[in-house]
Amino acid sequence: MSHQHLSPEVEDYLEHLYMRQHEGYTGELPALSDRGMGELLRHHLAVLEDGGVTLTQDGLAKAERAVRRHRLAERLLHDVIDVHGRDVDHAACEFEHSLHHGVDEHICTLLGHPKTCPHGRAIPPGPCCREQKRAADAAIAPLSTMKKDERGTIAYLSSRQPETVQKLMALGALPGAAVHVIQLFPSVVFQVGQTQIAVDSALAGDIYVRRAGER
């Protein structure tokens, strides 16, 4: 069922439902034929509730992929084929329905895993994007896992206590600051700017550093 192709009509409808439920889209939903509605309900992609149509879990996943294909298509047409304006919309509407079976992944990779469509709306990430992010993240690691004398720059602070983050920032440990690990035990000692700071390993685990000179 998951590889079964839906009709273009149903895909468009799903996309609009997705935008309405997740992106605050308030416009009209496209017209859907009785056949289309039957297809939607038969595959349990949506349910009828209080006179409205709501996506199911399965429908949401399908809708997300459809939105992704649509926006990737837009990106492709806009960036590579150099189509602009209203032409993008029309062409993309036609084009998106043929991007099945991993073709979207290839295009996404080709385009460098874009985050937004030409209209500035977010492109839901696919498996290829998550894979790519994991590879990129290997270069970003918690301070606690770095080695003595290693250098890097702070990428972000992930502590859930805003006060702790504020204190660290007041000490100069801001995103973008250069760090140098001085010692790891019994406490983690590092230098940012001209300040040396000692933190416990839990806190050091919340400071993510982009390592310099990735081996």
Partner 1 sequence: MTTLPRLPRPTAPTAPTAKDPCPCAEPARASGHPLLAIIGCPNVGKSVIFNRLTGAYVTVSNYPGTTVEVSRGHTTVGGCAVEVVDTPGMYALLPITEEEAVARRLLLEEHPRQVLHVVDAKNLQRMLPMTLQLLEADLPVTLALNMLDEAEELGFRFDAAELGRALGIPVLGTAGASGRGIAELRAALGAAMTARAECAEYNSAAPVCAEGDSATPVGGVCITYDARIERAVGAIIALIGRPAALAERALALLLLQGDAEIEALVAARASPAALAQVRAIVAETAAQFAQPLRIVIALRRQAVANDIIARTVQAPAEQQRPKLEWLSQLLMHPLAGLPVVALVLYFGIYQFVGMFGAGTLVGLLEENLFGGIINPWLTSVIEGWLPPLWSNLFVGEYGIFTLGITYAVAIVLPIVGLFFLVFSLMEDSGYLPRLAMLIDRIFKQIGLNGRAVIPLVLGFGCDTMATMTTRVLETRRERIIVTLLLALAIPCSAQSGVFLGMLSQVGPAALGIYVAVIVLIFLTVGLLAAKVLPGQRPHFYIELPPLRLPRISNVLVKTYTRLEWYFIEVLPLFILASVLLWLGSLTLQGGQLAFVPHAGLFGAIERALDPLAALIGLPTTADVAQNPALKFTGGTILLTGFFRRDFGAAGLADLFADGLLSPVQVVVSAVTFTLFLPCIAQFLVMKKERGLRTALGMAAFVLIISFGAGALLRVMLMATGWMGR
CB of 110 to partner 1, least distance (A): 29
For tokens 């940012």, name the residue. Answer: 192
Which of 70, 121, 63, 123 lies closest to 92 in space, CA to CA? 70
Nearer to partner 1, 7 or 164 (CB): 164
Rounded to whole angstroms, the Cα distance separating 181 from 197 reads: 10
Minimum Å gap between C-beta 127 and partner 1 is: 24
CB of 209 vs partner 1, minimal distance in Å: 14
**Residues binding partner 1 (CB under 8 A):** 159, 161-172, 174-175, 178, 180, 182-183, 185-187, 189, 191, 193-200, 202-203
Cβ proximity to partner 1: between 33 and 166 the closer is 166
Structure token pair of residue 177:
């600051």
Nearer to partner 1, 145 or 164 (CB): 164
β-sheet bridge partners, residue 202: none
> Closer to partner 1 at the Cβ: 108 or 154?
154
Nearer residue to partner 1 within complex by CB, 21 or 191: 191
CB of residue 106 vs partner 1: minimum separation in angstroms? 31
Q: How far is the CB of 153 from partner 1 (least distance, A)?
A: 11
C-alpha distances (whole Å) from 103 to each of 29, 64, 212 are 27, 16, 35
Q: Phi and psi for 186 in degrees, rounded to 5?
A: -75, -20
CA neighbor of 209 nearest in space, from 136, 149, 157, 134: 157
